[in-house]
Structure 1
Amino acid sequence: MAREQLVVLNALDVAKTQWYHFTAIVIAGMGFFTDAYDLFCISLVTKLLGRIYYTKPGAPKPGTLPPNVAAAVNGVALCGTLAGQLFFGWLGDKMGRKKVYGITLVLMVVCSLASGLSFGSSANGVMTTLCFFRFWLGFGIGGDYPLSATIMSEYANKKTRGAFIAAVFAMQGFGILAGGIVALIVSAAFDHAFKTPTYHENPAASLAPQADYIWRIILMFGAIPAGLTFYWRMKMPETARYTALVAKNAKQAASDMSKVLNVEIEVEEEKVQRMAQEPANSFGLFSKEFAKRHGLHLLGTTSTWFLLDIAFYSQNLFQKDIFSAINWIPPAATMNAIHEVFQIAKAQTLIALCSTVPGYWFTVALIDHLGRFFIQMMGFFFMTVFMFAIAIPYHHWTLKPNRIGFVVMYSLTFFFANFGPNATTFVVPAEIFPARLRSTCHGISAAAGKAGAIIGAFGFLYAAQNTDPKKTDAGYPPGIGVKWSLIVLGVINFIGMLFTLFVPESRGKSLEELSGENADENDGEKQAASPRTAPV
Structure 2
Amino acid sequence: MATPHRIDDERNNISTWQKINNWLPFPFGDHPWWIDGTTRAPEEKDENPRLWRKEVINIFDHNGFDIQVFIVAASGFLTDSYSLFATNVILPLLAFLYWPTRSDRLPELYINVATLAGSVVGQLLFGWLTDRLGRRKLYGLELVLVIFATLGMSQASNGMYNNMNILSWIIFYRFFLGMGIGAEYPLSAVITAEFASTKYRARMMAAVFLMQPLGQVLAAAIGWGVLTGLMQSRGLQSLADRGFEFDQLSVEQQHQIMSTLDSVWRWVIGVGCIPALLAILWRFSVPESPRYTMDVVDDPKQAIMATKRQFPRTAQLLESVNVSSDEGDTLAPSNPRSFPTSPALGATPDPAQDNESSFWTFFFVEGNIRYLAATSICWFLLDFCFYGLGINSPRPLAALWASQIPNITVTSVLPAATTTMTIPFTHTVTFNGNIYNLTTSILANIPPPTTTITSLVAATDSSFHVPDYQNIWNPTKNMFTELSDNAKFYILTISITSLVGSGVLIWIIDFIPRKSWLVCSFLLLSIWFAILGGVLVATEFSEAHVANVVLYAFCQFLFNLGPNTLTYIIPAEIFPTRFRATCHGISAACGKLGAIVILILTEKTILNANPRALDKLLGAFSVPLAVGAFFAWIWIPELQTPPTGNARALRLPRLPNKSLELLAKGWKFANGTDQTRDPRTRLPKGENQRLGFSNKLLDTWVYLRYKGKRRVLSTAGLPGERTGTTGEPIRVGNDARGSNSQDGIEMYS
Q: TM class by shorter-chain length?
A: 0.7 to 0.9
**Residue 11 of structure 1 corresponds to which residue in structure 2?**
58
Quick one: structure 1 residues 75 and 367, their matched pair in 2 at CA, closer, same or farther if it must change by over 3 Å? same
* Alignment pair present for 1:180 and 2:220: yes
CA distance in 1, matches of 2:351, 2:198: 23
CA distance in 1, matches of 2:261, 2:639: 50
**Residue 636 of structure 2 corresponds to which residue in structure 1?**
503
CA distance in 1, matches of 2:204, 2:508: 11
Q: List gaps (5 residues or longer) in structure 1.
A: 57-62, 269-273, 470-477
Preserved contact between residue 533 and residue 616 of structure 2 (Cα < 8 Å): yes
1:530 to 685, 691, 710: 691
Quick one: structure 1 residues 481 and 331, their matched pair in 2 at CA, closer, same or farther if it must change by over 3 Å? closer
Number of aligned residue pairs: 509
User: Which residue identity does 1:171 align to in structure 2?
Assistant: M
CA distance in 1, matches of 2:479, 2:662: 57
Structure richer in strand, relative to its length:
2
Quick one: structure 1 residues 260 and 524, their matched pair in 2 at CA, closer, same or farther if it must change by over 3 Å? farther
* Alignment pair present for 1:482 and 2:527: no
**Residue 114 of structure 2 corresponds to which residue in structure 1?**
76
* Alignment pair present for 1:91 and 2:129: yes
1:31 to 76, 94, 98: 76
- Map Cα deviations across residues 204-229 of structure 1 (whole Å, 9 max, x no partner): 56863321111111111111101111
Q: After superposition, where does 1:172-211 map in structure 2 within 5 Å?
A: 172-192=212-232, 193=234, 194-195=236-237, 196-197=239-240, 199=242, 202=245, 204=247, 208-211=258-261
- Map Cα deviations across residues 471-522 of structure 1 (whole Å, 9 max, x no partner): xxxxxxx422222222222211111111111212213111001102998899
**Residue 474 of structure 1 corresponds to which residue in structure 2?**
none
User: Which residue identity does 2:278 align to in structure 1?
Assistant: L
Q: List gaps (5 residues or longer) in structure 2.
A: 1-49, 320-332, 337-348, 403-470, 641-656, 670-677, 697-744
User: Which residue identity does 2:116 align to in structure 1?
Assistant: L
Quick one: structure 1 residues 288 and 337, their matched pair in 2 at CA, closer, same or farther if it must change by over 3 Å? same
**Residue 98 of structure 2 corresponds to which residue in structure 1?**
53
Preserved contact between residue 320 and residue 344 of structure 1 (Cα < 8 Å): yes
Quick one: structure 1 residues 354 and 277, their matched pair in 2 at CA, closer, same or farther if it must change by over 3 Å? closer
* Alignment pair present for 1:145 and 2:185: yes
**Residue 463 of structure 2 corresponds to which residue in structure 1?**
none
- Map Cα deviations across residues 275-321 of structure 1 (whole Å, 9 max, x no partner): 6764x321122236555242211111111001000111112123311
Counterpart secondary structure, 2:210? helix
**Residue 359 of structure 2 corresponds to which residue in structure 1?**
285
Quick one: structure 1 residues 25 and 108, their matched pair in 2 at CA, closer, same or farther if it must change by over 3 Å? same
Counterpart secondary structure, 1:393? helix
1:55 Cα offset (Å): 2.2
* Alignment pair present for 1:111 and 2:149: yes
Higher normalized contact order (CA 8 Å, seq sep 6+, divided by chain length) = 1
1:320 to 394, 408, 424: 394
* Alignment pair present for 1:241 and 2:307: no
- Larger mean Cα displacement after TM superposition, 410-419 or 120-129: 120-129
CA distance in 2, matches of 1:54, 1:123: 15
- Map Cα deviations across residues 109-134 of structure 1 (whole Å, 9 max, x no partner): 11111121122255981111101001
CA distance in 2, matches of 1:390, 1:277: 51
CA distance in 2, matches of 1:338, 1:516: 57
Quick one: structure 1 residues 188 and 330, their matched pair in 2 at CA, closer, same or farther if it must change by over 3 Å? farther
Rg: which structure is higher? 2
Quick one: structure 1 residues 325 and 199, their matched pair in 2 at CA, closer, same or farther if it must change by over 3 Å? farther
1:403 Cα offset (Å): 2.1
Preserved contact between residue 170 and residue 357 of structure 1 (Cα < 8 Å): yes
- Larger mean Cα displacement after TM superposition, 358-367 or 332-341: 332-341
**Residue 135 of structure 1 corresponds to which residue in structure 2?**
175
Preserved contact between residue 397 and residue 490 of structure 2 (Cα < 8 Å): no
Preserved contact between residue 376 and residue 500 of structure 1 (Cα < 8 Å): yes
1:9 Cα offset (Å): 3.7
CA distance in 2, matches of 1:124, 1:406: 44
Quick one: structure 1 residues 327 and 432, their matched pair in 2 at CA, closer, same or farther if it must change by over 3 Å? closer
Q: After superposition, where does 1:232-271 map in structure 2 within 5 Å?
A: 232-262=282-312, 263=315, 266=334
Preserved contact between residue 302 and residue 449 of structure 1 (Cα < 8 Å): yes
User: Which residue identity does 2:137 align to in structure 1?
Assistant: K
Structure 2 length-normalised TM: 0.64
- Larger mean Cα displacement after TM superposition, 3-12 or 160-169: 3-12
* Alignment pair present for 1:310 and 2:355: no
* Alignment pair present for 1:120 and 2:332: no
Counterpart secondary structure, 1:127? helix
Structure 1 length-normalised TM: 0.88
* Alignment pair present for 1:102 and 2:314: no
Percent of matched pairs sharing the same residue? 28
